[in-house]
Structure 1
């Protein structure tokens, strides 16, 4: 519409300029409203995540750094947009809310978090498509987001002594270290036998005397 107004006659240009001004005002109002909604969602998410961490008696919350992902084509642009969108506001709100109860939020590398096994650090198979992951060696699998959560938590715990701090940024862990995660029992197999608990009576029952 701006290009049309530039080449239009004077009377038509005045009408187009008025419409452009109205549209600019609407766009500004929508941007302000979207910013308020994103802020409310960010602090709502931060409160829920902080409550979960407090109930679990956690002292550290790991947030993946999307800027560490491998860039291909326009990947760097998309990663930068994702880091500066509502997700970035959510991470900032989480750090602010968690700091109020003594919980630290650290940024960890995101590359390979959903593609490597938490146990053996080998590439995972995709038997059910993109959203599933499975390691036949460790018999670990499930949703790729759950696997990524385990890897991110592991990287945060292993690198908590190597955190770098920069002014105006979250504490960050730059290097992703690996340590095997303890294997869990296969849900398809039998339950392992456990020693039976023997009931021991330490005191004799009281005898009630008979009346009559």
Structure 2
């Protein structure tokens, strides 16, 4: 459905913005069997994976999930943030120096500094917008690939930037999580995928398979990296799950959403689908059942079995044709004699039987000599003469 255009003047041209709307499937709050869980991280911006709700009530994982890493963009964002802080500090210093006394020299410098602050602010805004669109597009593509009908994300209001140190609090408050969620809702509405926020309580603390409190430690593949990214379930009797804490978090988020989808409501103020609270009775069923693999144990239990060497290729039983009287023809029976050396070209530009050698650039040794198997390629001699037909006593083709 087309709407009335909007006219705007850009330079010496008049542009018409033609708006239109198209029908999309309506997102449902419940009745989902495949869900995508999304977990937020500080260094790894997004971790997502899909779960399936079986008919018997079991929840199984569809693959190992994926991560959206934007370390380079986040590092540039932090550099711009530090630059903006220094510029604002200089701006405060200029205000103190001026102090109500007009000074043309200081005011000119102050105006240039204000222009630089606006430029840095625009760069940060554009960078955050591009990052939000890229992360949202990746999340919706993951849901489409897994054929999920709902995306469960953490409730951002529970993530407060308090009590984590000055640097970490600033990084958390400067994140673009709110923009990413809005972009996810915008892109998911086009394909009819529902976006529901769930409470983020204990998503990284409990095991996704047995709800046992996890033990966090350094990652085994990065023993020198500071942090507690690796989670191990102490319940070795029936579970023993271990993995990245972000991978366990998106499993907990998706499982909690699938089991609490009957409690999904629409917020009247924002019009968004939310799950307001965690029900203990439903939370006990929000566990991921490990899938059984059919891989057999291939660990080595003894010495390697000896394999006989590869047999020699079978030689041709039929004898070769006899050599014709002329120069041209098929290869004679047997190998080339080894008592004499192969003829070599006397000059760099060879005859019609060999490939010509370029006079510029790289000059291979074999091409300069005019002979050799691997060092140079030789063409077959021209078939200008007719090969006489000879009779063979053995009956082979001539």
So what's the TM-score if we normalise by structure 2? 0.42
Alignment of 1:73-92 (within 5 A): 73=163, 82=172, 85-92=175-182
Paired residues, number: 186
Instruction: Note the C-alpha offset of 1:46.
Output: 1.6
| Cα distance, 1:188 vs structure 2 | 10
- Aligned-residue offset at 1:74: 6.8
Q: Which residue does the alignment assign to 1:163?
A: 264
Match for residue 67 of structure 1?
157
Matches within 5 A, 1:1-212: 1=93, 2-6=95-99, 10=102, 13-69=103-159, 73=163, 82=172, 85-128=175-218, 130-137=228-235, 138-166=239-267, 167-168=269-270, 170-176=272-278, 177-179=283-285, 180-185=287-292, 190=297
Structure 1 residues 74, 190: CA separation in 2 closer, same or farther (over 3 Å shift)?
closer
- Asked if structure 2 preserves the Cα contact closer than 8 Å seen for 1:68 and 1:110, the reply is yes
Stretch of structure 1 that moved more, 154-163 or 174-183: 174-183
Paired residues of 1:125 and 1:135 also in contact (CA < 8 A): yes
Cα distance 1:73–1:55, how it changes in 2: closer, same or farther (>3 A)? Answer: closer
TM-score by length of 1: 0.74
Please, which runs of 5 or more residues in structure 1 have no aligned partner? 192-212
Write 1 or 2 for the structure with the bigger share of strand: 2
- Note the C-alpha offset of 1:163: 1.7
Residue by residue over 1:12-64, the C-alpha shift from the partner in whole angstroms, topping out at 9 and shown as x without a partner, is x3322222222122212221232122222212222222122111110111111
| Cα distance in structure 2, aligned partners of 1:85 and 1:71 | 10
Structure having the higher helix fraction is 1
Please give the alpha-carbon distance, in whole angstroms, between the structure 1 residues aligned to 2:187 and 2:172: 21
Gap runs ≥5 in structure 2? 1-92, 219-226, 299-398
Q: Quote the Cα distance in structure 1 between the aligned partners of 2:108 and 2:295.
A: 69
**Larger-gyration structure (1/2):** 2
Q: How many angstroms does 1:69 deviate by?
A: 4.3
Contact 2:233 2:240 in 1 (8 A): yes
Aligned counterparts of 1:94 and 1:81: Cα–Cα separation in 2: 22
| Alignment correspondent of 2:322 | none
Deviation per CA, 1:163-191: give whole Å up to 9, x if none.
23223263221223342321344899849
Shift of 1:135: 0.9
- Offset at 1:71? 7.5
